[in-house]
Structure 1
């Protein structure tokens, strides 16, 4: 991912910087420099300034880089913002990476202090306007931008793309380790930078399977814990995320968005981490970066740009943008199902039914610790295939081993239906081991049994009393998905997923049930 971004940025950069010398003003200049960060730590930076627009002052945009990339990551976008809109743009390499000094602090206090020092430097050394300051970034840069806006009132607008709100929830969702995501981030850190003490401690805890201690450092690095400060500072906040993001799942962003009282906009679209805004960073036409430019033009330049609705959504399996006044308004109805017992889905052998009436008194036991053909795909790759080629994570549902997974099938849908919002699952679970992981998958299934993954969610039951029933309420990831007429929904729950670190023990079991006083159910929102 980092290599692809860098190669594209460099290739576009040659075109971008040549334009001003051949064309009449307005134009821009580009210079590389070193900016002293917190404690004097040198930060490598690329400064793009507009020319032919007078003496200024000009609105300032500060762009911290994504994890594992240098300041070239934004070279195309920075040039367009300076040339087309007259911004002073300072893109800098975060401490600990590539040519910048220091060590990787994982969006710690020194990273926020660095961003504030970059703002100070730009106000002293460029024709930047102290009253019109914005920050933008992808991934790591998005997180640092939001955290800086919570700490510094000078930041009046933010564009956070593929960012996080709750870092702990991202790497440890429902007490389940996001194994592939964590390992990709750790490998990039060692390949492109110098891990600091906190990151080395987190890595050691991760490898020793002591994840609770590893995530103890994340609240300080999560803007979800700083909502009050962000609301008090009142920057205008734009967030753009992908439904299939392997590193920062969208549920944390929708929850965070609902808590903001500042001017705000949320864009959700198909794809994986940074995949939807990647080409825009290199300067190529891109609807996410177009929205970012409009956002800053409106809030920093005072232009009457049409920002559209506060919430914009594109279905994960294709289609255009839909607009809503808020996230809650996106869901206008729901498909309510109850979970039936084994063998109740007459048209699908060895499968339970999703019914419209409560089904109670049944029990179904599966073996734990053994994988099935149902899974959430491969980090980054699966989401990119979904976003770019509309190729979802698939499974032939009749081939899912019923000894190792519970499967429920719903009735065929008479009309096309858009699943839009947050699916929720409630059922009773009796594990035979003190620690067990469960993985729930919601599929769009055609008449031949071929399923496309709509949404999923892990949960790990830790330190529970074996063989004692307990209720599990599981909130799947937000999604917009168009289910064609004639297809039906299927729910699969198993105990192993290669993307995550499963705590399920081979030889143990999990028993699902639906007590008479507490029926098991699945609620699928529609819009």
Structure 2
């Protein structure tokens, strides 16, 4: 079953990469595209496309674009042609080291990759009519991470556009000490398929196969811009972040945290989709909201265009469901202006609910405990990497659940009152409860749903959580923040919280036959707090 899921995710990723790599039909008028092999860090060859505008007086602003994981330098050709033709940028996009026909080995955005990016900037300043005072970088996924890491090391980079990137690599692959199985397998399999893994990556994989994630965690800080935010701030780099609510490789919570720590010019755009899907079509030159905003961002910070970027609210969010419009805010904290606060009551059977179900009530109800079996899944799931988020984005089809079919022997379920006027969930829901496992290591999965009158739930957000080294039989206070989201709950729907112990997106800890007691005490009452945002009516 694991191998089947790995195959499915790899196929989905391959389809996405093929879509991204196909260059669009685009007139060559005003643009010259050449292929170069640029010397990278240590003298390796980096295959590159150099896109030069014609008819624009130089020196020109320079944009350097490292490619995404497992892709080559065709990835951004469509977008680069538009940037060159319409805005006069000198663009250089290159294949990241170790992938396809690039030299070296895959170093997972290590110092060698930053050295490559700096070498490409050096080459472009020496071999094109690029302006050394107006240098920007942009990329999707791996290219976004390399761009941010390079900006922390090189103060020549004045502006960055980071799309579907990461801030904290450890948080991405090991959130709350839970291995993101589908994401890790996808990254490893695609690395072997399209490139040459470096020794550090191979060592990490060997240890990971043996159940040891420590080498990956040891690699992470140097490859995480969250550890280098002071350098970004000192350089005054203008940073724009574009991301998807359902990104299954780099969940968005780490990006909202990173955004809050930036002190220079910054912009945050969050919308429906999965990893790289919000900006995928823009990469090949098709109209795209993220790329349009990115162009405005560079025009303002590299060309000095008076286009409103400097005076607009920098945080922009679009609901993950429906067809709601963008809403803008002065900062991330303003996305939430209230909350729905519930206490969790003991799950019990009632005359109208044949399965044990707890309530999401106004006040706390301490003094109860509810036991569930561990190591066996229920119909509550976070969905499939890439596919589920893409369905949400393009077809408004959420990851769903039939709440009556959630097996209460293996999950706790709590439902709230009907929201007669609906609500906009806006921010990161928080859950608190007491958990008593019978095993030292035990995974828990928290799902927040919007449920209609038929009991069909749409997944709003979720979060994995794994207890490590717990004392069996001893209670542990668990408090976690779920992934941020903006979701419009329809009038008449209710919220539901489900907690179980298995999810196919992750590597589960906890064997069948073990149990988990979920409870509420006077000292630590079980609670759910759901942040809410302004009424979408009247928002821009």
Greater Cα shift, 334-343 or 511-520: 511-520
Q: Which residue of 1 aligns with 2:4?
A: none
**Equivalent residues of 1:345, 1:352 under 8 A apart:** no
Structure 1 regions of 5+ residues with no counterpart?
21-26
After the TM superposition, which residues 143-158 of structure 1 pair with which residues of structure 2 at under 5 Å, given as runs? Answer: 143-158=145-160
Could you tell me how far apart the structure 1 residues matched to 2:28 and 2:140 are? 26
Following TM superposition, by how much is the alpha carbon of 1:248 offset from its aligned partner in structure 2, in angstroms?
A: 0.2
Following TM superposition, by how much is the alpha carbon of 1:12 offset from its aligned partner in structure 2, in angstroms?
A: 4.0
- Structure 1 pair 345/470, CA: closer, same or farther in 2 (3 Å)? farther
Following TM superposition, by how much is the alpha carbon of 1:28 offset from its aligned partner in structure 2, in angstroms?
A: 1.1
After the TM superposition, which residues 253-292 of structure 1 pair with which residues of structure 2 at under 5 Å, given as runs? Answer: 253-292=255-294
Q: Which residue of 2 aligns with 1:449?
A: 455
**Equivalent residues of 1:443, 1:490 under 8 A apart:** yes
SS of residue matched to 2:214: helix
Could you tell me how far apart the structure 2 residues matched to 1:502 and 1:212 are? 17
Q: Which residue of 2 aligns with 1:438?
A: 444
TM-score (norm 2): 0.94
SS of residue matched to 2:378: coil
Q: Which residue of 2 aligns with 1:339?
A: 344
1:326 counterpart = 2:328: no
Could you tell me how far apart the structure 2 residues matched to 1:6 and 1:524 are? 36
- Structure 1 pair 181/2, CA: closer, same or farther in 2 (3 Å)? closer
1:507 counterpart = 2:513: yes
- Structure 1 pair 10/517, CA: closer, same or farther in 2 (3 Å)? closer
Q: Which of 90, 105, 112 is the matching residue for 1:110? A: 112
1:249 counterpart = 2:254: no
Following TM superposition, by how much is the alpha carbon of 1:214 offset from its aligned partner in structure 2, in angstroms?
A: 2.1
Could you tell me how far apart the structure 1 residues matched to 2:14 and 2:386 are? 14
Q: Which residue of 2 aligns with 1:40?
A: 43
Following TM superposition, by how much is the alpha carbon of 1:343 offset from its aligned partner in structure 2, in angstroms?
A: 1.4
**Equivalent residues of 2:23, 2:74 under 8 A apart:** no
SS of residue matched to 1:351: strand
Q: Which of 490, 500, 503 is the matching residue for 2:496? A: 490
Following TM superposition, by how much is the alpha carbon of 1:6 offset from its aligned partner in structure 2, in angstroms?
A: 5.3
1:309 counterpart = 2:318: no
TM-score (norm 1): 0.97
Greater Cα shift, 376-385 or 4-13: 4-13
Q: Which residue of 2 aligns with 1:167?
A: 169
1:381 counterpart = 2:424: no
Could you tell me how far apart the structure 2 residues matched to 1:154 and 1:346 are? 69
Following TM superposition, by how much is the alpha carbon of 1:9 offset from its aligned partner in structure 2, in angstroms?
A: 5.3
Q: Which residue of 2 aligns with 1:213?
A: 215
1:422 counterpart = 2:428: yes
- Structure 1 pair 336/345, CA: closer, same or farther in 2 (3 Å)? farther
Could you tell me how far apart the structure 1 residues matched to 2:21 and 2:479 are? 48
Could you tell me how far apart the structure 2 residues matched to 1:366 and 1:68 are? 41
Q: Which of 406, 412, 419 is the matching residue for 1:406? A: 412
Could you tell me how far apart the structure 1 residues matched to 2:350 and 2:141 are? 43
**Equivalent residues of 1:273, 1:380 under 8 A apart:** yes
Could you tell me how far apart the structure 2 residues matched to 1:293 and 1:38 are? 29
**Equivalent residues of 1:331, 1:420 under 8 A apart:** yes
* Offset from partner CA, 1:116-154 (integer Å, 9 cap, x none): 000000000000000000000000000000000000000
